[in-house]
Structure 1
Amino acid sequence: MSTTVTADIEVDVPVRVAYDQWTQFESFPHFMSGVESVTQVDDTTTHWVVSIAGVKREFDADVSDQVPDDHVAWRSTAAEVQHRGRVDFRPGSDGRTRIDLTIEWEPEGFIEKAGAALQLDDAQVKRDLHRFKEFIEDRNAPTGAWRGEVHGGQETTPGTGGTAGTTTGLGGGTAAPGSVNPPTSEGVAGSDPDLRA
């Protein structure tokens, strides 16, 4: 039985800043608990290494739908790790941004099923969103940007206004364009363009 978590937060930066930072997947370990690393494979594919309750998992996730300054949706590519999600960005008052996040996954094993039953995953997602808020508000600028557009899993507009591949201020590395990996009991997952927060 799948588990769905929804969470939202308002951050004190403009939509473009919040959105651009979310496209920098390799920065996720800085604010997402359980995420050990994210590697950008190409513009729409990322490789995740996560560790939850001592259980290490690796999987790939593809961006299924992305519109700059509006939303990013993703889904896992392997049958054995069932994840999908969507994050939406909405302008708030005084130049702030509301972030709405929905994550759906299939818990595996006793620890993950128990965590889902006790709603521990909900608490983790909310904590990680709060850490994202602190991260981006402290910087007040994204570490990079990828402005490509994706529909049906296919990139329709090349990324502009930044380089999918460079992060700044985080010790270098590549930036993961186009997707989000919200914190879950297993890390990031995939998404459906119709999955809304």
Structure 2
Amino acid sequence: MSASLVETVDIEAPVAVTWALWSDVSRWPSFLSHVRLVEPLDERRFAWQLSLPGADKNFVAELTEVIPGDRIAWQTTEGVHHAGVVTFHRLSDTSSRVTLQIEYDPKGFVEHIGALTNLDSTLANYDLGEFQKLAETAAAG
């Protein structure tokens, strides 16, 4: 039984800017509030360190699909199981919509992370608001 979380944000920045920021995995800790470090292992695999209330977690995620300017998908291969996809939509020459969807197994997640963590709020903190600020600053820059 998996659960999913979907978040969407409209950003005053063209797709080229939002895509460029998100596709640089090393920048994820600057806008994903629970991600402390993302370290490339090879072309497709990355080691993540998450910093969560009362727990630090590590897992390895693999990029399963990368379509430039359109979507990035990943799934974990070690550690807490989840899969995610982020898609980029052109609204106009100067604005875009970014949608983040995460599928996870609530039971496994809670066992790994600890029942005290409110999972939905944790995942909701994959904070698109921070990303929006970053992208709009970059677009204005």
- Equivalent-residue separation in structure 1 for 2:124 and 2:27 (angstroms): 21
- In the alignment, which residue of structure 1 is the partner of 2:103? 104
Any gaps of 5 or more consecutive residues in structure 1?
Answer: 142-197
RMSD: 1.9
Answering whether residue 122 of structure 2 is matched by residue 121 of structure 1, we say yes
Deviates more, 1:103-112 or 1:43-52: 103-112
* Counterparts of 1:135 and 1:45, CA distance in 2: 25
1:120-158 superposed Cα distances (whole Å, 9 cap, x missing partner): 235423xx10100001211228xxxxxxxxxxxxxxxxx
Q: Tell me whether 1:61 sits opposite 2:69 in the alignment.
A: no
Which runs of 4 or more aligned residues in structure 1 lie more than 4 Å from their structure 2 counterparts after TM superposition?
none
Distance 2:31 2:123 in 1: 16
**Matched pairs, number:** 135
User: For 2:69, what is the secondary structure of its paired residue?
Assistant: coil
Q: Deviations over 1:63-100 (max 9, x none)?
A: 1011100101100012x421101111010034211111
The percent identity for this pair of structures is 29
Contact 1:62 1:75 (8 Å CA) reproduced = yes
C-alpha spacing 1:55/1:122, structure 2 compared with 1 (3 Å): closer
State whether residues 5 and 121 of structure 1, in contact with CA within 8 Å, keep that contact through their aligned partners in structure 2.
no
List alignment gaps of at least 5 residues for structure 2.
none
What TM-score results when the alignment is normalised by the length of structure 2?
0.86
SS at match of 1:138: helix
